[in-house]
Amino acid sequence: MKTIFITGANRGIGLELTRQLSSTGNQIIATCRNPEEAVELMELSRDSHRNIEILPMDVEQEVSVTKLAETLRNRGEKINLLFNNAGIIDWRSMQDIDTKTMLRVYKINVIGAMLVLRAFVPHLKQTPEPMVINLSSRLGSIALRGRTELGGAIAYSASKAGLNMLTKQASIDLVDDGISVISISPGWVRTDMGGPKAKYSVEESVKQILCNVDRFTSGDSGKFFGEDGEEIPF
């Protein structure tokens, strides 16, 4: 049994990660901005064998992240696996985006992930082979730009490229703590973000993500993978 920490667990990929990982007996710390509004997550928690704990955390607010980290540290919580899943998108192109939105996307998708990772290093490094999975996107691959179907989304693409650098740099900075940090793209998924025309159901995507996570080793730290298990060039 592992203790698994998930951000943005109230809907989409985060909710499905919580569902699939809790069904195999893991202890889930499911975090979200507004637990009182997380109806599906609360139902899932009630139906599970009490192995889902729902806690408030807004990755945009540093104090929210550090407060939860402190609470969990005080009670001696150790974390095996952390999913930096929370994220937002804005589809506008360079011509249309405003700086306020650009900053907000960066704040949540990059700074938020960094704050969470940093705050939970003490909890992670107490477990054997701890791992952090950053939910990235092929839109964040500089090497693939121009070769995928989607265009625009300048704030999002730039933020996911930034997240990939966070993965790479953190994998180096945390090597002495034994913490692996890996970026994974879930593919194009039918969630609020991905929309109804996306390729994968959320169940399929999360199943693939978890297959990959199961086979990841410390040798994969600092790399970027697709849902198909293939490495994606940065």
Ligand X SMILES: NC(=O)c1ccc[n+]([C@@H]2O[C@H](COP(=O)([O-])OP(=O)(O)OC[C@H]3O[C@@H](n4cnc5c(N)ncnc54)[C@H](OP(=O)(O)O)[C@@H]3O)[C@@H](O)[C@H]2O)c1
Q: Which is nearer to ligand X, 130 or 194 (CB)?
A: 194
41, 116 contact by CB (below 8 A): no
- How near is the Cβ of 33 to ligand X at its closest, in Å? 4
Cα–Cα distance for residue pair 17/188, rounded to 1 Å: 16
- How near is the Cβ of 205 to ligand X at its closest, in Å? 8
Q: Which is nearer to ligand X, 25 or 201 (CB)?
A: 201
Q: In sequence order, which residues have a C-beta less than 8 Å from that of residue 170 and are 6 or more positions away?
A: 114, 117, 132, 179, 181
- How near is the Cβ of 92 to ligand X at its closest, in Å? 16
Q: Which is nearer to ligand X, 103 or 129 (CB)?
A: 103
Strand 180-184 relative to strand 131-135, pairing: parallel
- How near is the Cβ of 178 to ligand X at its closest, in Å? 25
Q: Which is nearer to ligand X, 25 or 143 (CB)?
A: 143
Nearest to 4 by CA among 80, 68, 66, 57: 80
Binding site for ligand X (CB under 6 A): 7-8, 10-14, 32-34, 58-60, 85-88, 108, 112, 135, 137, 185-186, 188-189, 191-194, 198
Residue 181, both tokens? 């940090």
Residue nearest to ligand X (CB): 12
Cα–Cα distance for residue pair 178/128, rounded to 1 Å: 8
Q: Residue 101: left (phi > 0), alpha (psi -120 to 50), or beta?
A: alpha
- How near is the Cβ of 177 to ligand X at its closest, in Å? 24
Q: Which is nearer to ligand X, 33 or 168 (CB)?
A: 33
